[in-house]
Amino acid sequence: MVNVITKIERPKKEVLKQFEYEAPATVYEAQGKIGAMMSDIKPIYSGMKICGPVITVQCHPGDNIMLHKAVAIAQPGDVIVASVSYSEAGYWGEVLTTAAQARGIRGLVIDGSVRDGLAIRKRGFPIFSKGLCMKGTVKETLGFVNYPIMCGNVLVKPGDIILGDDDGIVIVPKEKAQDTLKKSQDREKKEQIMMEKLTSGELTTLELLGFNKILKAKGLQEE
């Protein structure tokens, strides 16, 4: 079986560019409340943002050799998403960060741990992980690059779009990118109108969002 697929279909650049203006939480809501990774995958420092096409990596637990391979074949703008199934090792550190930045890679999302947190922060490289761990890895077992994987309880395919910020990570299937983008933009416009009404004091959230009807139906009593 082929371990590494080097050529993948990526979303159009203009679509990716527009997604950069969308909040991950808005995208999650717009695509039917699906695609959000588990909340234990967090940014290693606040203020990080990522948006780009996905390169997927399946690593053997405690082994990061396939991450090195993924960095070598990734294109500028790509985001590496790795499934490792084990958190007591730092799969990624300053060395891979330096190599990734030199190749224009925009970030890493991993369901394991990384290390060299301070150095990575100084370099400004976005990483979302389950935590930090100083323990090293081996380079012995083959895995796979650019096959469908599960990461954060979400199916991720090569070429999907990934967005992340302090709220977490969301995956947009590449085949639904255009539709999800439109729905996200429409939702953003509606939220802007809502915020203007709230700011003016014109309405409360109960009135604006129809929550009074819910409270009444539940038999809320007040005096």
Overall number of domains in the chain: 1
Question: Are the CB atoms for 73 and 157 separated by under 8 Å?
Answer: no
pLDDT at residue 1, rounded to an integer: 84
In a domain, 213, yes or no: no
pLDDT at 38: 98
Using 50 as the pLDDT threshold, list the residues of the chain that sit under it. Answer: none
pLDDT tens, residue by residue, 23-35: 999 999 999 999 9
78 falls within a domain? yes
Element (H, E) at 214: helix 211-217
Contact 127, 48 (CB under 8 A): yes
pLDDT at 202: 84
In a domain, 121, yes or no: yes
**In a domain? residue 219:** no
In a domain, 173, yes or no: yes
Q: Is 197 within the bounds of a domain?
A: no
pTM score of the predicted model = 0.94
Please name the amino acid found at residue 165.
D
The closest alpha carbon to 161, from 82, 83, 67, 79, belongs to 79
Range of the domain at 120: 13-181
In a domain, 126, yes or no: yes
Q: Residue 158 maps to which CATH number?
A: 3.50.30.40
For residue 154, list its beta bridge partners. Answer: 151
Is 7 part of a structural domain of the chain? no
